[in-house]
Amino acid sequence: MRIVTLNEETKQNVLSNLLKRSPSCYGKYEASVNEIVNNIRTGGDKALFAYTEKFDHAKLEKETVQVRKEEIQAAYSLVDPSLPDIIRKALKNIRSYHEKQKKQSWFDSQKEGVILGQKVLPLNRVGVYVPGGKAAYPSSVLMNIVPAKVAGVQEIIMCTPCGKDGCVNPATLVAANEAGADRIYKVGGAQAIAAMAFGTESIPKVDKIVGPGNIYVALAKKAVYGHVSIDSIAGPSEILVLADESANPRYVAADLLSQAEHDEMASAILITTSRALAEQVSAEIEGFLETLSRKEIIQKSLDNYGYILLADTMEDAIETANEIASEHLEIVTRNPFEVMTKIRNAGAIFLGEYSSEPLGDYFAGPNHVLPTNGTAKFFSPLGVDDFIKRSSIIYYSREALKPLSEDIIKFANTEHLTAHANSIRVRFEEDEHE
């Protein structure tokens, strides 16, 4: 893995290279994605089934597009017998964490008959997209469904690609059933996003779509935004490890590779003040590569977006980490809690050598759907807030409004909105004649 001395020039080169992975940089795919979205919007099930046959080589129809209860029951016999219990343990942690995020409606009464407040309501129907293809992600099923359930969403539907045989990955089905998906459909890609956004004869229209996917899924979510809400336009996975000479190089190397194996565009970066650690981590990575099953994917990821950045000071390292704003940030230093207080931008922060990134992916409880491509500067992890909507509550009595009426009328007239001013004025016309 390449070792680069960190300075202003190399930092900018790294940042520029990482930004190339953004879905916004793949406009060449937008035309084909928009064509799919428009065809689903106008063609409904017919177009949906045609695209499923074209891309997934599976023949579906209205009677088979939805996963049946029998298929879900059969899935339990096809997975490792221990998996359901592991999923239930993870669910308990994920649910407990997200329960703490719940918000309540509130009302505030003031003098003279003023009541202000906020009404918090869950979304009615949410669509969860779960990718297939290179790997199955039952953990993503849990992370997307649980906060929606905690928020009180009325109906959760899920779309995920099926194989040529028309079957969905059994681990994905078990996770969906345990998490509480109401309906599961065997469709994937941009066509699944469009189906949930506009509705077809088989798949109902949703209010919001959440869940990760490939570039086609990301661009489809971008295309339907406004017709429905979305969580984000997710980019490839990324990890940044911030370490000093006290870090265990074998642990650091293993953690970097845990994200590099996602796909060729994933990024894995170590920023350290120790040249010895940098060299040791590089050597450990070479050793691990000889034994890991996704060696080719990892190697391409590291060649394109893997870096070991050697910083003069921990302050320089922290500043660079804040500029990169990584999806996952591990802090492996003598005092990780002190360093953590200086971190402004990160999706999830892991502290200490035993808080490895996969702990957050599967079991700890915080959501693993996180901002990518530097968007941790202004976005947050998926949570209960993503599945609620708020309505403002305003009540004024006549006695409360009257002292403010002239001010409101003048404000409206300043903006040349005379109908606004009139709406207030008519309520006190009789007072003008007294």
Measure the CA–CA gap between 72 and 175, rounded to whole angstroms: 10
* 280 marked ligand binding residue: no
66 carries a ligand binding annotation: no
Q: Is 259 annotated as a binding residue?
A: yes
Contact predicate 159/187, CB 8 Å: yes
Q: Which two tokens stand for residue 140?
A: 């993503």
101 labeled part of a ligand binding site: no
Other Cβ atoms within 10 Å of 124 Cβ, number: 12
Is 104 annotated among the ligand-binding residues?
Answer: no
- Residue from 98, 284, 328, 353 carrying the catalytic annotation: 328
57 belongs to an annotated ligand binding site: no
How big is the chain by its Cα radius of gyration, in Å?
Answer: 26
In DSSP notation, 281-309 reads: HHHHHHHHHTT-TTHHHHHHHHHHHEEEE
Residue 129 labeled ligand binder? yes
- 399: nearest Cα among 114, 107, 109: 114
Q: Is 327 a catalytic residue?
A: yes
Q: What is the largest CA-CA distance in the chain?
A: 93
- Please give the angle made by the CA atoms of 377, 382 and 386, to the nearest 5 degrees: 105
Scan for tokens 């997200």, then name that residue: 98
Residue 342: closest CA among 327, 356, 360, 321: 321
Is the Cβ–Cβ distance between 387 and 120 less than 8 Å?
no
Residue 26 annotated in ligand binding = no
Residue 433 designated active-site: no
CA angle 139, 248, 242 (to 5 degrees): 70
Ligand-binding site membership of 395 (annotated): no
Which residue is catalytic, options 327, 330, 353, 357? 327
262 is in an annotated binding site: yes
Phi, psi (degrees; rounded to nearest 5) at 309: -100, 125
| CA 345/CA 67 separation, integer angstroms | 40
Would you say 150 and 101 are in contact if contact means Cβ atoms under 8 Å apart?
Answer: yes
Annotated binding site: 129, 191, 214, 237, 259, 262, 328, 361, 415, 420
Annotated binding site for Zn(2+): 259, 262, 361, 420
Annotated binding site for NAD(+): 129, 191, 214
Annotated binding site for substrate: 237, 259, 262, 328, 361, 415, 420
Active site amino acids:
327-328
